[in-house]
Structure 1
Amino acid sequence: MDLVSYADLVVELVNTHDPAEDALHDLDSLRALLTPRPHLLGRLTYRDLEAMRQLRQELRGIVEAAVAGEDDRAAEGLNAMLIRHPVHPALSDHDGHPWHLHLTEDGSVPDRYAAGAAMGLAVLIGERGIGALGLCTSRECRNIFFHTGSDRSQRYCSDRCGKRDGGQ
């Protein structure tokens, strides 16, 4: 199991927020966010939607702290999430794949999402360092991303943002 892949949950959720238009505005938009990851789907309520919005703000705060060089604050926030949303690994052999590790699928949708996101982010930071987290510097975008290069020089979340700003 590639636990770092769970870190993508952080980017996918946090980048649903745009001051001009919140892409996580109703239960259908929450379902759309979760559809690529069927193991996270389940019965959704407006309470789940609000919990996901709160989780989004908490994760953004962790990334913003890391980007600002406030490593201790970022780590404290992430550690608090790991305590509140414990990860429970389990062996699985689904869909003809050999036995491999997954995170259990117990609890509410927001709890499962938070556990996976926190674990993935923790593994990513453990492997690549806290400097692997980035915040797009485009004037029109505040998306988060993970640095892909070792030099941490990436300034934009995408080529589109870089070209729009005349950078990259």
Structure 2
Amino acid sequence: MDLSSYAEWAVRLVNDGEPPAELGQVFTLAGEGREQEAIDLLNALLVRYPVRPQLSGHDGQSWHLHLAEETVPCAVMGLAALVADLGVSRLGRCADVSCSRAFLDTSSNRSRRYCSARCASRANVAAYRARRKIGQ
């Protein structure tokens, strides 16, 4: 069962919704390298928000599992599954100083530092302008 889409719910909740504060804190702790604390908090969220899997067969597909459509429990479960597969270091907060959005790093080389290409570009342009200003 692929839970990556559910992990993306966690990011959307943290960035755009009304998540439990602890869900956003998981990304902050992970981004700060506080792995054990992030794991402990994620485990506490799994206890607080249990999931209910259901068998589903739709759109001509064979029977497969879905998580019940309760946003927070599904997001927590997806995030836990991603951490179990890829590690807590794949969670973080945007490195752009004017942004604090959460992100999942699913890149092959674990190099993601920004929540979006827009933030990465803005940070790179600001760094370039700062270097030029120093050189003048």
- What TM-score range do you get, normalising by the shorter chain? 0.7 to 0.9
Q: Secondary structure at the match of 2:4?
A: helix
- Offset of residue 104 of structure 1: 2.6
Q: Distance in 2 between matches of 1:3 and 1:147?
A: 15
Aligned length: 126
Quick one: which of 14, 29, 37 aligns to 1:73? Answer: 37
Residue 12 (1) aligns with residue 6 (2): no
The match for 2:93 is: 135
Q: For 1:41-120, what aligned pairs fall within 5 Å after superposition?
A: 53-55=18-20, 57-105=21-69, 112-120=70-78
CA RMSD of aligned residues (A): 1.8
Q: Distance in 2 between matches of 1:152 and 1:95?
A: 35
- Offset of residue 54 of structure 1: 4.8
Structure 2-normalised TM-score? 0.83
User: Does the CA contact (< 8 Å) of 1:85 and 1:115 recur in 2?
Assistant: yes
Unaligned runs of 5+ in 2: 128-136
Q: Distance in 2 between matches of 1:145 and 1:5?
A: 13
Share of identical aligned residues, percent?
45
1:4-30 deviation digits (Å, cap 9, x = unpaired): 2200011111112xxxxxxx5xxxxxx
Q: Secondary structure at the match of 1:152?
A: coil
- Offset of residue 162 of structure 1: 1.2
User: Does the CA contact (< 8 Å) of 1:81 and 1:114 recur in 2?
Assistant: no
User: Does the CA contact (< 8 Å) of 2:68 and 2:74 recur in 1?
Assistant: no
1:41-95 deviation digits (Å, cap 9, x = unpaired): xxxxxxxxxxxx351x221101111111111111111111111111121211123
Unaligned runs of 5+ in 1: 17-23, 25-52, 106-111
Q: Counterpart of 1:10 in structure 2: which amino acid?
A: A
Q: Distance in 1 between matches of 2:118 and 2:19?
A: 28
Structure 1-normalised TM-score? 0.69
